[in-house]
Amino acid sequence: MKKLLLILLVVGIYSYSFSQKAESLKAVVNKDSKANAGVLYSPPIGVQEYLTGPVLTSNETVRNQRYGTEIVIGKTKYDLQTNRTMQRRLFMLPNNNMIATWTFANSGTPFNDRGTGYNFFTSSNTTWAPYPVGTDINSMTRLESIRTGWPAVGITNNNASEIIISHDFTALILYKLTRATIGSGNWAQGNLSSLTVSWPRVATGGTNNNTVHVLGTLKPDGTVQNGIINPVLYSRSTNGGSSWDKVCITLPGEDATLFAKELADDYDIAARGNVVAVVMGGNYNTLVLFKSTDNGNNWSKKTVWAFPYAPINPDTQTWPDTIAAFDGAYSILIDDNNVVHLWGGVTRITSGTPPAWYYLPAQCGMIYWRDNMNTITGNLEACSNFCWPYNNFIDRNSNGKWDCLVGGWNKVAYNVGGTSMPTGSIDANGNLYVIFQHMSDADKSTFHIYTADTVPYRHLFGIMSTDNGVSWSDAVEVTPFDEGREYVFASSVSKITDDSLRLTYMEDDLPGNSLNPSDGTNPHPSGYDNDIVYLAVPLADFFIMVSNPEKNNSANNNFSLFPNPSREFTNLTFNLAKAGTANISVLNIMGEKVAAYKVDGVSGKNNKQLNTGNLAAGIYMVRIETEGKIFTEKLIKN
Verify that 527 and 561 share a domain, yes or no.
no
pLDDT at 479: 84
Residue of 547 and 155 predicted with greater confidence: 155
Would the pLDDT of 624 be above 50?
yes
For the chain, give the mean pLDDT. Answer: 81
Closest-CA residue to 456 (of 421, 410, 491): 410
Nearest-angstrom CA–CA distance, 329 and 82: 9
Nearest-angstrom CA–CA distance, 317 and 98: 46
Verify that 347 and 441 share a domain, yes or no.
yes
Within 497-628, strands assigned E span: 500-508, 530-538, 560-562, 569-576, 580-587, 593-601, 604-611, 618-626
Phi, psi of 17, deg, nearest 5: -135, 140
Determine, yes or no, domain membership for 228. no
Nearest-angstrom CA–CA distance, 205 and 590: 27
Verify that 600 and 542 share a domain, yes or no.
no
Would the pLDDT of 475 be above 70?
yes
Quick: pLDDT tens for 140-153: 999 999 999 999 99
Quick: pLDDT tens for 433-450: 999 998 776 544 444 333
Verify that 385 and 487 share a domain, yes or no.
yes
Verify that 607 and 527 share a domain, yes or no.
no
DSSP 254-321: -STTT-SB--TT-EEEEEETTEEEEEEEETTEEEEEEEESSTTSS-EEEEEE--SSS---TTT---SS
Would the pLDDT of 630 be above 80?
no
Verify that 564 and 493 share a domain, yes or no.
no
pLDDT at 2: 28
Contact 417, 327 (CB under 8 A): yes
Verify that 328 and 387 share a domain, yes or no.
yes
Burial class (CB in 10 A: 0-12, 13-18, 19+), 208: middle
Would the pLDDT of 372 be above 80?
yes
pLDDT at 135: 82
Nearest-angstrom CA–CA distance, 550 and 624: 14
Verify that 517 and 617 share a domain, yes or no.
no
Strands 197-205 and 211-218: antiparallel
Q: What is the mean pLDDT of residues 377-386?
A: 89
State which residues form the domain around 472.
265-298+310-550
Sheet containing strand 68-76, edge to edge, reads: 62-65, 68-76, 530-538, 500-508, 486-492
Strands 68-76 and 530-538: antiparallel
Q: CA angle, corner 516, sides to 51 and 233, nearest 5?
A: 105
DSSP code of residue 542: H
Determine, yes or no, domain membership for 202. no
pLDDT at 481: 63
Residue 92 pairs in a beta bridge with: 98
What is the total count of domains within the chain? 2
pLDDT at 521: 60
Determine, yes or no, domain membership for 466. yes
Quick: pLDDT tens for 274-309: 999 999 999 999 999 999 999 999 999 999 999 999
pLDDT at 401: 62
Contact 133, 120 (CB under 8 A): no
Q: What is the mean pLDDT of residues 524-535?
A: 88
Contact 83, 55 (CB under 8 A): no
Determine, yes or no, domain membership for 446. yes
Indicate if the alpha-carbon torsion angle 294, 300, 302, 306 is positive or negative. Answer: positive
pLDDT at 94: 94
Q: Residue 400 CB: number of other CB atoms within 10 A?
A: 15
SS3 at position 463: strand
From residue 349, give the alpha-carbon distance in Å to each of 285, 368, 413, 597, 620: 11, 20, 14, 51, 44
Nearest-angstrom CA–CA distance, 492 and 424: 7
Residue of 539 and 484 predicted with greater confidence: 539
Verify that 416 and 543 share a domain, yes or no.
yes
pLDDT at 547: 43
Determine, yes or no, domain membership for 67. no
Q: Residue 419 CB: number of other CB atoms within 10 A?
A: 30
Strands 495-496 and 419-427: parallel
Would the pLDDT of 19 be above 60?
no
| Residues contacting 208, CB < 8 A, separation 6+ | 156, 157, 158
Verify that 417 and 534 share a domain, yes or no.
yes
Would the pLDDT of 336 be above 90?
yes
Q: What is the mean pLDDT of residues 593-599?
A: 91
SS3 at position 208: helix
Determine, yes or no, domain membership for 629. yes
From residue 21, give the alpha-carbon distance in Å to each of 5, 7, 158, 493: 10, 10, 50, 33
Q: Which helix (H) or strand (E) holds 25?
A: strand 25-30
Burial pattern 314-347, b for ≥16 Cβ within 10 A else e, equals beebebeebbbbbbbbbbbbbbeeebbbbbbbbb
Determine, yes or no, domain membership for 51. no
Nearest-angstrom CA–CA distance, 71 and 110: 28
Closest-CA residue to 112 (of 138, 57, 149, 75): 149
Q: What is the mean pLDDT of residues 453-459?
A: 71
pLDDT at 399: 61
Closest-CA residue to 54 (of 633, 576, 528): 528
Residue 346 pairs in a beta bridge with: 326
Verify that 529 and 565 share a domain, yes or no.
no
Q: What is the mean pLDDT of residues 197-204?
A: 97
Least confident range of 61-65, 197-201, 262-266, 276-280: 61-65
Verify that 455 and 594 share a domain, yes or no.
no
Would the pLDDT of 260 be above 60?
yes
Nearest-angstrom CA–CA distance, 135 and 132: 6
Residue that terminates a domain, selected from 524, 550, 576: 550
Least confident range of 306-310, 378-382, 499-503, 608-612: 378-382
Query: What is the CATH number for 609?
Result: 2.60.40.2550
Residue that terminates a domain, selected from 496, 522, 550: 550
Within 352-397, strands assigned E span: 357-359, 366-370, 386-388, 392-394
Determine, yes or no, domain membership for 95. no
Nearest-angstrom CA–CA distance, 25 and 16: 12
Q: Which helix (H) or strand (E) holds 163?
A: strand 161-168
Nearest-angstrom CA–CA distance, 213 and 204: 6
pLDDT at 546: 59
Residue that terminates a domain, selected from 528, 550, 572: 550
pLDDT at 590: 63
pLDDT at 136: 83
Q: What percent of the chain has pLDDT over 70?
A: 79
Q: CA angle, corner 238, sides to 192 and 155, nearest 5?
A: 80
Would the pLDDT of 194 be above 80?
yes
Closest-CA residue to 330 (of 423, 247, 205): 423
